[in-house]
Amino acid sequence: MKKKVILGLSGGVDSAVAAIRLLEQGYDVTGVFMRNWDSSINNDVLGNPHVNDDVCPQEKDFIDAQNVAQALNIPFLRIDFVAEYWDHVFSYFLDEYRANRTPNPDILCNKEIKFKAFLIKALELGADYIAMGHYARSLHAPEVKLLRGIDPSKDQSYFLCQLTKEQIGKTLFPIGDMYKKDVREVARKHGLQVAAKKDSTGVCFIGERNFREFLKNYLPAQPGNIETLDGEIVGTHEGTMYYTIGQRKGLKMGGAGEPWFVLGKDVPRNVLLAGRGDKQELLYSDRCIVNKINWLETEKKDRDCTAKFRYRGMDHDVSLHWLDDDTLEVRYPKKGKTVTPGQAAVFYDQEEVLGGGTIDTVYMGEAIRPY
């Protein structure tokens, strides 16, 4: 009897080719489109008032997903997780911005929606596995492991660092051993219109939009000054929460010389700190505290490994030192650039994901960085 797989069919080329590969491998495949954001009303389903924002191209994605299912002759469902997304992802996202931290909602979205709420629903529908079009790989035997995707330019294991072994053990990643160019070629050979569709960007399920203007619907702006480290006022900002460390775009500051970069925040004074050039000492650190750890190894012991502090960031050689069951001190004596509170630190042993957590405090020596 065929194993039943319920696939997250997003309307993009990656999940479409994931469906093709699952069918080729002999699985009984059902495609499911997840609807997690309601852009069509002024008050969301939980009664939280907000200003009507730009309409998300979610409906177009739904139609594309439906067309893929029809072309591949697989059953297709649409399931809403709007309330779950607001409760477990978007509310946290706003809380972190209020605290002047830079969160990564895609990681929480994977943990709470795609691999939790979706998995629960899939099991209720009789699935043996769920599947996603992520560029990552999973091993289920002899032990459960999460691995990087083989395409280094598309690897998405960073965003999966909060998955549990139970979730990984129930998940298939059909395109994790493929390169993007080959994924598009498979879609073209099958005559799928999504073969050339642009990759989605922006916040998970909310889509592409003017992000700062979008945030203003929920978090009122508190303008203030931009200052150099010497206290010279060189510009104004729209609210410190809207900026992240190392940011260059959006400062609206020019003039002769090197570009301006965000170096830090003086939150009590509502001041954004900035400097010219990206070699500023304040952008660098050599250790950080990481909490809310999700650990995939059996033992929690001090060890050396590598870490990513941002999705597109380089791998850093690090030493991990457990402070308690939920907290790591991470040391990287070769220094890291723009390691930022609220972002994820993800730890690797070569191809294997060891776990990950949220960056809480960043240091250079004994000095806390003003992030």
Per-residue pLDDT, averaged over 256-268, amounts to 92
Report CA-CA distances (Å) from 323 to 97, 117, 204, 288: 26, 31, 32, 12
Conformation bin of residue 338: beta by default, left when phi > 0, alpha when psi is -120 to 50: left
Minimum mean pLDDT range among 193-197, 248-252, 263-267, 289-293 = 248-252
Burial (CB count <10 Å: 0-12, 13-18, 19+), residue 339: buried
Q: 209 versus 309: which is more confidently predicted?
A: 309
Per-residue pLDDT, averaged over 96-105, amounts to 86
The residues that are catalytic are 109, 204
What is the pLDDT, as a whole number, of residue 40? Answer: 55
Write the pLDDT tens digit of every residue in 206-232.
555 566 777 788 888 899 999 999 999
Write the pLDDT tens digit of every residue in 154-181.
999 999 999 999 999 999 999 999 999 9
Write the pLDDT tens digit of every residue in 292-308.
999 999 999 999 999 99
Per-residue pLDDT, averaged over 125-135, amounts to 98
Minimum mean pLDDT range among 240-244, 299-303, 315-319 = 240-244
The pTM for the full model equals 0.89
pLDDT grade for 197, boundaries at 50, 70 and 90? very high
- Report residue 125: phi and psi, to 5°: -85, 5
Minimum mean pLDDT range among 15-19, 35-39, 365-369 = 35-39
Three-state DSSP state, 270: coil
The Cα–Cα gap between 311 and 253 comes to 27
Give how far the C-alpha of residue 324 lies from the chain's centroid of Cα atoms, to the nearest Å: 26
CA angle 197/199/204 to nearest 5° reads: 130
Structure-token pair, residue 348: 């690797």
